[in-house]
Amino acid sequence: MNVKESLEPLLNVLLENPTWKTDIEMQGLYIEILKENYPETLEKLRKLVNRKQVELVSAHYSDQIYVAYPRYDLLKSIDINDKILEENGLKRSNVFLTQENFFTPAVTKVIKEKGYDIALINHTYYDYFHKIDPEKIKPLYKLDKLYIVMSGPESQWLIPLKENGIQWVWWWYDDGEPLMTLHGPYSFEKFKHTKLKEDRMKIILSGLERQGYRLETISNFVKEIVEKGYRPEKLKMPLEGAWNMKRCEGVYRWMGHYHNPWELDVQIRSLTYTSRKYVLAAEKLIKNVKDTWINTESLEKLLEEAWRFQLRAECSDPTGWSPKPNEVGYSITMARLAQYYSLKIIEDVKKELRYEKILIDTWTGEIKEIKEMPKKYRKTSLPIQLEYIGTKPSISSYLVEENVYLIKYSFKPQEKYAGFMIPIKTSKIYYSRALAEEELYELDLDSYDFDHVYLPLTNGLISFTEQDFIIKNNEKMHIAAKIDKNLMKIGFIVENAPQQLVFDWEFYYVKGNKEKALKKALEINVYPKLIV
């Protein structure tokens, strides 16, 4: 339905009007669906890409909320995606845009090595961090060595922008499905192509051409103005977010806000961290035994499937704006399949090695047989003060090692907002930005215009003093952390969660230097150990 009612009519219009160029964002999984079910539509897309009328923007295999997971997952996704594009005779562009326009400034550490040098962001995203008049948007910005093109808000579409002799205008920067349909794809019976919307598009684009505008791709736009000597302005540093910051509150819409009674935001995001651990462990295990007598060819095929399931489990829609029950089930199913395939690999290798129980360290790659399970931690009194929000939790605390405590926080929501908060004692916060989980970033709250912000914390780490750190265990509570500038507090809070749900959260409190806290966060969430 999506293909025949929205994509194909758009491709037909473009084929009829060869001077109309555009960018279309599409993930590798969608290309596979086209190949399997709509080969004639895929051929039309291929023709438009080959004649450089359509610039294919493709940055992941699945519509992932990539800012909620470590960098390795996005790199893996890009590799799988590029392979699919190559197999289908499609060349992607150098433009980076992902599902929901998720963005992190640390993306500069990833996309240059993968052949991207332009990224798209939305005005409402940037304006959340640094107020900017939409009429004063520049044609181009620079973030490190990355070119940034910022779209105007929808209210500014078709209103010309001018800067240094350059005049440009936006018409569409949004989901493609409603472009020529009356309703979006969630209105199944009403999601139909309409000639009214198609004619409207033709009138608008023809009118722009008559006014002297060229309908261009993003990369051509950037190339032309740079060659003419335009010097892009340095972009002020934003944080992680998405394209409608006021409505979605950054990543919180996908990591803590429960819109429907069947939603499982935190549970799903946590489950995908568990399945990720198994996939990483299987990958390390194969690498470890590859040069032995064990034939790994079939295992490597299973691993590729496991990664595909994992990346599909990381899809944003199952915890997004208003997910349907089948979308919620989709992510759970994909995560379980990723874990199942990975466990099959692990058990097959264990059998070959004649090990009953092994420990796999996904950081060092060490594989060793173990005879006894690790000793349990000693129970202690709670080492920090927590402010309980909307619940009466059951709490227990354990000493893991010197100045490192494991805290278990179990509760049922009793109010609209439920969880806990911790006072911040400084305006400077240390955390690791998405895609840069091995580095600490000093966040100066006074440098930003927001009242509060939600951060995904892919390695779980955030400070509340220069010597005190929380590390959420993302397998137990992968929820976005709220920083409230007015209250000067950090919060881990679910909103609208059904009161029958039980949340069994775990997090670590680390007292000491930043390097120790960062190493612990990486061990827990990015490169975990698995005992099977």
pLDDT of residue 489: 97
Read off the pLDDT of each residue in 14-30 and give the average, rounded to a whole number.
Answer: 96
Give the pLDDT band of residue 1 (cuts 50, 70, 90).
low
Structure tokens at 221: 């736009």
Can you tell me the distance from the alpha carbon of 107 to that of 126, in angstroms, rounded to the nearest whole number? Answer: 15
pLDDT at 491 over 90: yes
Question: Looking at 175-184, 421-430, 445-454, which range is the least confident one?
Answer: 175-184
User: Residue 192: pLDDT band by 50, 70, 90 thresholds?
Assistant: confident
Domain boundaries, the chain: 2-75+86-248, 265-369, 378-531
The residues near 24 (Cβ < 8 Å, ≥ 6 apart) are: 10, 45, 54, 55, 56, 57, 176
The domain defined by 378-531 carries CATH number 3.90.1570.30 = no
Contact 62, 29 (CB under 8 A): yes
**Fold agreement (2-75+86-248, 378-531):** no
| pLDDT tens column, 228-284 | 999 999 999 999 999 889 899 999 999 999 999 999 999 999 999 999 999 999 999
Q: What is the pLDDT of residues 283-294, one digit of tens each?
A: 999 999 988 898
What percentage of the chain reaches a pLDDT higher than 70?
99
Residue 49 carries which side chain, given as an amino acid letter? V
* pLDDT tens for each residue of 200-222: 999 999 999 999 999 999 999 99
Mean pLDDT across 334-344: 98
What's the pLDDT at 180?
A: 87
Q: Model-level pTM?
A: 0.96
CATH code of the domain made up of 2-75+86-248: 3.20.110.20
All residues at 6 or more sequence positions from 498 whose CB lies less than 8 Å from its CB, including other chains: 258, 261, 413
Residue-level pLDDT at 374: 78
Query: Is residue 81 pLDDT above 90, yes or no?
Result: yes
pLDDT per position as a tens digit, 99-108? 899 999 999 9
pLDDT at 62: 94
The whole-chain average pLDDT of the chain stands at 95
